[in-house]
């Protein structure tokens, strides 16, 4: 019985990853045609991938460009966390910071959002 439970958990994990990748691919394909609104950058920082509070930057080689921004559509305010459809891993902090350079905290930015689901957004379409 435990062996079949392990297989079920692995299958569920693989299925979840496929669904997430499919959704990101859909966003990548559709986002160049999405409308845009003005937004404001709240967070823009390079951080180590798999950052652990008890192990800051120890042995880290991959970096993420972390963003958070606020925007409004039809009077409803949203917060987005997606720079682009597929998040990229950067091999250095400098590379991640370069990706973030156009999006400093406090900057007014163009936010592209799904017209059918305005809570889904990106800063870099495509």
Domain ranges of the chain: 2-122
pLDDT given at position 53: 61
What's residue 14's pLDDT?
76
Q: What is the mean pLDDT of each run of 10 residues along the chain (126 residues)?
A: 74 74 80 96 91 59 92 98 86 93 98 97 95
Strand order in the sheet with 108-113: 76-80, 63-73, 36-48, 108-113, 121-122
Contact 96, 64 (CB under 8 A): yes
Per-residue pLDDT at 79: 98
Contact, 111 vs 69, CB < 8 A? yes
pLDDT at 6: 76
Please report, for residues 41, 45, 79, the alpha-carbon distance to residue 76 in angstroms, rounded to integers and kept in the order given. 17, 26, 10
Q: Is the dihedral of CA 48, 105, 69, 29 positive or negative?
A: negative
In sequence order, the β-bridge partners of residue 90 are 63
List the beta bridge partners of residue 110.
Answer: 38
* Rounded Cα gap, residues 123 and 126, in angstroms: 10
């Amino acid at each position: 019985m435990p062996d079949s439970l392990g297989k079920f958990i692995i299958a569920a994990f693989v299925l979840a990853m496929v669904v997430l990748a499919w959704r990101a691919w859909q966003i990548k394909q559709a986002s160049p045609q999405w409308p845009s609104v003005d937004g404001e950058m709240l967070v823009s920082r390079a951080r180590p991938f798999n950052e652990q509070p008890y192990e800051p930057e120890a042995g880290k080689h991959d970096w993420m460009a972390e963003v958070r921004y606020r925007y409004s559509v039809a009077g409803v305010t949203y917060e987005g966390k997606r720079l682009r459809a597929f998040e990229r891993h950067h091999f250095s902090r400098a590379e991640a910071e370069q990706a973030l350079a156009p999006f400093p905290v406090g900057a007014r930015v163009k936010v592209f959002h799904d017209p059918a689901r305005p809570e889904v957004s990106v800063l870099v379409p495509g």
